[in-house]
Structure 1
Amino acid sequence: MLIYVIGGLAFLTIAGVGLALTGDKSEAARKRAKAIGTGGTGSGRRGKVMDENAKRRQKTQDMLDTMRKQDKERRKSIRPQNLQSRLTQAGLDVPVSAFWIFSLVLGLALGGTVYILGFDGLVISGISFKSRPALVGGAFFFGAVGLPRILLGMLTNGRNKKMINQFADALDIIVRGVKSGLPLNECVRIISKESPEPLRTEFAMLTDNLSMGAGLERSLNTFYKRVPLQEVNFFMIVLMIQSKAGGNLSEALGNLSSVIRARKMMREKVKAMSSEAKASAMIIGALPFVVGFLVYMTTPAYVMQLFTTDTGHLFLTIGVVMMSMGIFVMRKMINFDL
């Protein structure tokens, strides 16, 4: 009997221990299942990190959208609205009145040349286009309005090419200065003192604006209006992003310098590859005039038929129109914009 009692007590003891252990595991399992179902502590932390990353990405996207809108507005604002803006972009520090005086003198010179030569028009297929006052007036208008603006555009393009060739070196100066501990304003001041023209003048203007407290964004906008180049726009975007979001300025400007040099190298490669086509176009375009001059030197009466007879006027007009069309097409074929 005693043996049965001891066996029952042992059984109850073992059962109780088993139930206790099984209950703890079930409770732990229920806790784990609850944590998995509700997200748990680790998942909550991961969720918070993902939310922060999403907010950061959204903030960056909003900033990029804002800068894209500002860039569109800047592109609209840099278009020269008046003659003074075009003179500034060409690097001419002259008043508008001086430009108009120069245009008037050039128009009078061209109109006077046409009047002195006595050319009064053409007769094409029996239709007379002779009007000496109209020709003189057209020459005056072209000399006073068209030709000065063509010269102004050539000066602007030449200045922009010099700026592009010098801009990467200016960025390298800023990169080395920032790495050595100099502030951005001091690096810009060094460029304004040590660089050649036109980089010296533009960075001197930028330095003056920053020193007078105009602010970085306003100073860069003024710089971009004076020099409307993609390289300057990239420079402006990098500085604006760095000032708002932070980051390694020297690394960003170093990468920008590499990009600008790569663009310059690509532009030179395109120029070298298209040089043969340009030389051919120049030869083909100049060939009729050279041949006509040589024929005139040998037999002047033969060439003068183009200028003294109605049939000659007709063929001369056809030749000028076809030559103009050919030159225009060849120019479009050999010019590449990067």
Structure 2
Amino acid sequence: MTLLLLYAAVFIASLIAVDTLLRSFFRKSERRRAVNHRLSLLDASEDHLKTYREMVKERGADGIWRSLPSTQLIRQWYTQSGVKFDPRRFALYGILGAVLVWLAVQFLIPSNLVRVPVFVANCLLIPIVFVWRTRTSRIRTFTLKLPEALDVANRSLAAGHPLPAAISLVAREMPDPVGTEFGLLSDELTYGTTLDDALVNLSRRVGAEDLSLLAIALSVQAGTGGNLVEILQNLSKTLRDRAMLKAKVKAISSEGRITAIFMSVYPFLLYAMIKVLSPTYFDPVWASGYGTTIVAALVAIMAVGNVILYKMVNFEY
């Protein structure tokens, strides 16, 4: 009995120690994330204008790319994703990803006629999907943090500060992506950009739909006057209610979305599993000469089905 109590005491002590270490680690990580990217760059350099230009350039939001219609949409997605372009890292990941994709395609598809198009399509599609998913996640995070940023600006305005000072306070107090984006907005106002143009640039850099409401509210208030604190309070409440509605719709449609994802991925997983367990199972299909046609037809049917499933589980609100 004494030995059992000793084991229990050692277990509880170990559990408490591990919990303390994990809490300390995550608390430090959260503290590091609280400092946004712009402030970390400003700590390393005292030249605010140079830092602003470097941030705009690394995000691909400078004016040079806006003049190229063929790359405007791609550059806009890249800018809104918040990804920083590093040539060496891009080359390393590109080569490694291409090798992994080629090995997977070579293992799963025996026909050389199909291998090369599938390999090229995947090499082009994977970076686009990565940027698109990163952009979607960043916009979602910005949208969730925007009401909190409006509350910070409201408190500054209620204390008697002007709007540029309130925007600068948001840039100092909020984490990424809100802090950095409002910091760029504050820099543009400081260097002579009008409020309307700065808000348009902010909306283009972020891509969040809720920013259009903020831009309209600030533009109308600047032109016609009114109680800006009350306007931003009402806007913050509206954005919170909208986020709550989105969360409810997402929860209600979660079963349908999981079903759609499973039905989309299942055929490929089943093919890979059969290929691993019985490598020669599909050889008659490829040897018949109709394998490419069959695969193309099935992929086209699956694409149509995925579009229908996407329309069924995604709602406009």
* Structure-2-length-normalised TM-score: 0.66
| Change in 2 beyond 3 A, CA 1:136/1:114 | farther
| Higher Rg | 1
Q: 1:319 to 1:137 in 2, by over 3 A?
A: closer
1:266 aligns with 2:245: yes
Asked if 2 retains the 8 angstrom alpha-carbon contact of 1:107 and 1:139, the reply is no
Q: Secondary structure at the match of 2:281?
A: helix
Show the counterpart of 1:89: 80
Counterpart in 2 of 1:44? none
**Match of residue 139, structure 1, among 98, 119, 124:** 119
Counterpart contact for 1:274–1:334, Cα < 8 Å: yes
Pair 1:170-2:154 in alignment: no
- Are 1:310 and 2:288 counterparts? yes
- Residue of structure 1 aligned with 2:186, choices 207, 210, 234: 207
Change (3 A) 1:332 1:118: closer
Letter in 2 for 1:334: V
Distance 2:173 2:276 in 1: 55
> 1:256 corresponds to which residue?
235
CA contact (8 A) 1:111 1:139 kept: yes
Q: Deviations over 1:61-103 (max 9, x none)?
A: xxxxxxxxxxxxxxx99x97165443321112326x6697468
* % identical equivalent positions: 26
Alpha carbons 2:80, 2:135 under 8 Å: kept:
yes
Per-residue CA deviation, residues 274-331 of structure 1 (Å, 9 max, x unaligned), is 1111122233334445555666677x27833564442883655554443333223212
Tell me, yes or no, if the aligned pair for 1:108 and 1:140 is still in contact at 8 Å. no
Q: Distance in 2 between matches of 1:323 and 1:209?
A: 47
Matching residue's letter, 2:288: D
Which residue in the other structure is 1:326 paired with?
305
**Residue of 280, 290, 293 corresponding to 2:259:** 280
Counterparts of 1:112 and 1:285, CA distance in 2? 22
**Secondary structure of residue in 2 paired with 1:81:** helix
Contact 1:193–1:200 under 8 Å retained in 2: yes
Does the CA-based 8 Å contact 1:206-1:219 persist in structure 2?
A: yes
CA–CA distance in structure 2, aligned partners of residues 163 and 155 of structure 1? 12
What is the CA–CA distance in structure 2 between the aligned matches of 1:120 and 1:301, rounded to whole Å? 10
**Amino acid in the other structure paired with 1:201:** T
Q: Which stretches in structure 1 are left out of the alignment for 5+ residues? A: 1-75, 122-129
Instruction: Report matched runs for 1:69-218 at 5 Å.
Output: 81=72, 83-94=74-85, 101=91, 105=95, 108-109=98-99, 112-113=102-103, 117=107, 119=109, 121=111, 131=113, 135-136=115-116, 139-140=119-120, 142-143=122-123, 145-218=124-197
Q: In 2, are the aligned partners of 1:110 and 1:139 still within 8 Å (CA)? A: no
Deviations along 1:163-202, one digit per CA (max 9) or x if unpaired, are 0000011111122222222221221111111111100100
Which whole-Å CA distance do the structure 1 matches of 2:284 and 2:237 have between them? 57
Matching residue's letter, 1:88: T
Task: Measure, in 2, the Cα distance between the counterparts of 1:292 and 1:243.
Answer: 61
Shift of 1:271: 0.5
2:210 and 2:290 mapped to 1: Cα distance?
52
Name the aligned partner's letter for residue 82 of structure 2.
Answer: G
AA paired with 2:119?
A
The answer on whether the counterparts of 1:306 and 1:316 sit within 8 Å (CA) in structure 2 is no
Equivalent residues in 2 for 1:229-240, closer than 5 Å: 229-240=208-219
Distance (Å, rounded) in 1 between the aligned partners of 2:269 and 2:209? 40
Q: Which has the higher contact order (CA 8 A, sep 6+)?
A: 2
**Alpha-carbon separation, structure 2, partners of 1:275 and 1:226:** 30
Cα shift at 1:269: 1.3
